[in-house]
Structure 1
């Protein structure tokens, strides 16, 4: 308890002056220009809830860095009250409509000038040591994920690490021709199960050279589309980059407990839901997964909300995201019964 109190106190004064940079958690909260005001408000609240869940479950020594863009001042302030340090995104260069990845887009997108999910490319800035304040290692977790248990060990995992979506992860409602429609990188067929990984939770070491290479790929459009149903996002660029760089090897496989998405393979990998640390799914499905991870309820009643989520929302609403008492109350709703760690 003393350690948590010291950690929260250190946050209040901005951390230790003159200390060496340490590994950091990071995320981003980017409002696309097309978002309506209500959607922008909902996005900011989701980002604040994400930061609050990390604050209360983990109380990291340094607050998470959150890249922000397109938000109002009060929305950024809400994310900071939830325990984050915000960093204004440097923005995006113009999209290269003549790049190879865009020239190969599906006919349905022929009239589009840029990807609908262009905003996701802001994540590439997090590979730049200057943007992440010199952190030697970063655990980047998308803001639609919720931390349900202490995630401190994520910063200790060997980088680069990410959760691979192998064939066993295919949801039963997705036919094979959509799951693996025939992917090519540099003209060579590539099995999706070998190259495709989820970029929502990634542990890596920021590097100026890597950041420069990533932006070069963005500028040239010289990368593949590995998930045509989501055409295209930052994941395609990162997957192509690491495929080329780690050919014959690959980034380390991150245990599903750190990026629990409720797939068949997720349950096979985790075995015991009390080992889950991060739930990463859209809101409706996330509620079901939190029920399972925290209360061991696989089929909750329609409209029900897990106690963990109720406690988390309450802490956010009363400004208690840095409160040790609120952290203790939240832990009771999602006890950690796992033996040993997850890698």
Structure 2
């Protein structure tokens, strides 16, 4: 047998992400073009793609035909196959060393969503990171987030595909024509007008909170001649595919996470636990009888277990653990 293809672990992770994305359902022309551009952008990407295919073929050789989704082997099928094939056996079978340990951990442990695997910048659950971009902008990623960059001669575009970001626009001093700084989500386009703001992907909408300056919003399905909605400092908006309207944060400070904290005021306990659940793995539930209890304060995110342990001292609740990853908050 020929020796396994060698490729950088980061590129192999991206290749696995593309494999899942392409095989989880019919890929449209835009996705196919994006995949082709990624594959042709760097010889390392082509080697990584070959490596990912080797792993997939090894799994099929061990288990036969994997269960198929609409467009091929499903995400769940790859996960099940990897779990049944021990890491030691997979490493021996593929004759791999340290270069493949990262992707194998992905296959046998937590399966990161494809948005993180194909991103230029990403965070795992519970992780927060900050970056300074080439144009001088400062980008912060909240828990379980993913961003792709599309900087060229005409614009600075960030594609937010998962989670939440905070962005402080840079001066773009290295570019002769000043390029607009934009954030694209599934719901529409946001353009910074010399500003500092937070964008979060929620179910069915993108939430925008402007700290300084202003941000212009264009819903994805707005008419071509529709005027953009401009959000000013101190305002929060909900951007859907069809409209941009003022929104309520439900008592949550949208920027608290950038300082490593949940900053809340008169927030429902159920909403607080849903927010906290974004920073930890597993189930974090709330008994309906306790859902309407209210709390305020500043809660550090560095240790969610310790944070949960504090709740019975401020509210009439108890914390029930079935396992480390299954927690229920109930009335005492």
The TM-score, its normalising length taken from structure 2, stands at 0.28
Please state which structure has a larger fraction of its residues in helix: 1
Between structure 1 and structure 2, the one with the greater Rg is 2
Report the TM-score when normalising by structure 1: 0.27
